Chain A
Amino acid sequence: MTNARTLHLKVARADGIAPTLRRVHLVAADGARLPPAAPGAHITLTLPAPAGGRPFHNSYTLVSADPEAGYEVIVRLSDRSRGGSRHVHESLAPGDMIEATAPHNLFALHSQAKKHLLIGGGIGVTPMIAFVTYLREQGASFELHQIAAPAEVGVFEALLALRTGERIHIHAGRDAFGLTALLAAQPLGTHVYTCGPAGLMDGVEASAAALGWPETHVHREDFGAAGGEPFVLRLAASGIDIAVAGDQTMLEAIEAAGVDTPSLCRGGACGVCMLPVSEGTPEHRDHYLSEAERGAGCLVMPCVSRSRSATLVLDI
């Protein structure tokens, strides 16, 4: 029941499964049980930055999760990597310790789906592997279309452990795949789940909408909008500046600076922690302020909201 529960993990194995794919098997550092997780859940790993910079917080979907056997993730080396995936590919070794968040699921299977249509692109295969494992166990109706670079088709076939009689299709490139026809052919009650490049996920959403699918039947991977850019908080009445880190809330930063401020739910719903803004532009993420109050820009809920401006001045 500790808050912001941090898991201390140890790398049990790390294997290259393709030139830019590495599978990492994590267990509890102390050998204890890990929290179970639903298919679609992700964890956020704290990965060291080169030369003592601020660590990276990268989210990865759990390919498998077992309290005793541990967690598996697959990490794609990103060309644009600032260092997170590069560290996993080039430095991470068995025995390394890593901190992680507890699993969190923003990409859950829908309990009332008559059929699950899974559409993955590239590294978006990771939740699909977890979904297929679960749906097989349940004996549920599903169909998977996975797009892979031609050179990786064999790798993905092995990851999905293709079985005869199942509707699992691995397409060599996106051109080999007719999205609109696929969505149009689905029976009533089908839910579609997509994970992959933004263009693919946007395409699935747009095609489904054009075909009249209910929004509630279309699901895309989401790691949530936790954290953001760092900014400076100036407490005008107290005359202090507080640096708010990217992975820290404004409320946590105020508390860490030793300033006593009331709070209750810490989730943007109760209104107790509301503070007055005198300068700067809040980025509102709460469920409390009305549109009019947001427009006026004079109030902010520091437990969840952030700042669009480099400095936010509070009248406290």
Chain B
Amino acid sequence: MATRFKSDETFRDDYRYGNSDEGVLRFPFPFVEDSYMYSVNMEPHTRSAAPGVFAAAFDVDEHYVTECAERARALALEPGRCMVLPHMRDAEWDTLELIMESLALDYPDQFALERHGLDWTWTNRPLGIHQSFRFGDATTLPHPPFEYIVRQAQGDFTLQDQRDGTLYIDGGVATTPADWSLAFDVGMTFHEWHGPVPLAHQAGVFDRALQYLMRIRYGEPARRLNWTMTVHPRLDTSPENYPLWGPDRAGLTAENIGSQLFLRVELQSLFRLPRSNALLFGIRTYLASLDDLTRVPKWGRRLHRVMRDLHPDIAGYKGLTRYHDVLVAHLAQFDDGEPTTPGIASDIAVLPA
């Protein structure tokens, strides 16, 4: 079924954003059981047979056009949100090729890539782009190759150089960050940029994850889901702009939390890049309000149990502490104590009205 792209959404100021029923049902609900703790929850990023967010290498959904516009706006306001260190030049072209190839393969009605030697032509119908360029020659594109292509994908991306037995974050774009800063992290090692995460270091999660990531092979990408919460459907929750969104947490009440608080899920994907041997890390953000999610009975029950029992250090790290009590009290009405099935599936085909 062809996706109908929304055209009048905003992710700041007046926050005109919403999910269709299909959008809610395909939401990547991140909790596989009724409790949550950090783990190495990586799995192969294989295309699922069923439609949904795992059916493509880079998921394109109903928010594609408006999200690309929002990200272009973030880059126009702060061009430093995209930066790539000079030694990652090959990785920039690798990224461009991977995203173009994948979009053209997964959505042949929307995207097309023609290649004759180094002369390439790229067509992006939803954004009205038709670009001929020479692969490897950055002067033939309107932006540097990494920035050019990530502007046409949903979500953010970082580039990791693999050397000295670790990964270095040596480039990326951060227009939809869940309170992390590319300008702060760029050049850091894997353990350095994960430094602030509580509990997981002591549990060895990052040591094991790093070993796994460094062994990811070309053509065998991996993924995991991560989550936090955001007040309003705001994609740009950057530390640089904290004064613009941080205070919103103080405005949540029992009356408005269902419509104003959003579960923010990151579909994180990792691809080995062939020319540079770098890793591309995709951070694709999905937003759904509590009102949306609690229409799915299983998700309402589970969300209540996960939030009620959440370790206080994790709640603090994710910025939930101030409104945690209001959140749990609100979710209690959706938990009838019935058991839930394992896994993230919604278990329903149609949303109740």
Interface string of B103-140 (1 = CB under 8 A from A): 00000000000010100000000000000000000000
A112 near B87 (CB under 8 angstroms)?
yes
Q: Does A36 count as interface, using CB distance less than 8 angstroms? A: yes
Q: Does B208 count as interface, using CB distance less than 8 angstroms? A: yes
A265 near B42 (CB under 8 angstroms)?
yes
B275 near A36 (CB under 8 angstroms)?
yes
Q: Does B242 count as interface, using CB distance less than 8 angstroms? A: no
Interface on B for A, CB 8 Å cutoff? Answer: 39-47, 57, 87-88, 90, 94, 97, 102, 115, 117, 161-165, 170, 207-209, 211-212, 215-222, 274-277
Given A33-B115, A287-B208, A287-B212, A2 contacting B219 (CB threshold 8 A): yes
CB distance from B202 to the nearest CB of A (A): 14
B208 near A35 (CB under 8 angstroms)?
no
Chain A residue with minimal CB distance to B163?
A: A110
Chain B residue with minimal CB distance to A40?
A: B277
CB distance from A272 to the nearest CB of B (A): 9
Interface string of A18-55 (1 = CB under 8 A from B): 00000000000000010111101100000000000000
Interface string of A102-123 (1 = CB under 8 A from B): 1111001011100000000000
A91 to B289, CA, bound (A): 65
A216 near B164 (CB under 8 angstroms)?
yes
Kindly list 4 other residue pairs between chains A and B, CB separation below 8 angstroms, not including A111-B163, A269-B208, A269-B209.
A2-B46, A4-B220, A264-B41, A265-B43
A269 near B42 (CB under 8 angstroms)?
yes
A112 near B276 (CB under 8 angstroms)?
no
Given A38-B275, A288-B208, A265 contacting B40 (CB threshold 8 A): yes
Return chain A residues, CB-CB under 8 Å to B43. 264-266, 270
Chain A residue with minimal CB distance to B94?
A: A36
Q: Does A1 count as interface, using CB distance less than 8 angstroms? A: yes
A1 near B221 (CB under 8 angstroms)?
yes
Chain A residue with minimal CB distance to B106?
A: A1
B218 near A102 (CB under 8 angstroms)?
yes
**Most-contacted residue by chain B among A108, A216, A287 (CB, 10 A):** A287
Chain B residue with minimal CB distance to A304?
A: B215
**Most-contacted residue by chain A among B162, B209, B220 (CB, 10 A):** B220
Given A105-B277, A108-B277, A287-B207, A265 contacting B219 (CB threshold 8 A): no
Return chain B residues, CB-CB under 8 Å to A1. 45-47, 57, 102, 219, 221
Return chain B residues, CB-CB under 8 Å to A3. 44, 46, 220
A35 near B162 (CB under 8 angstroms)?
no
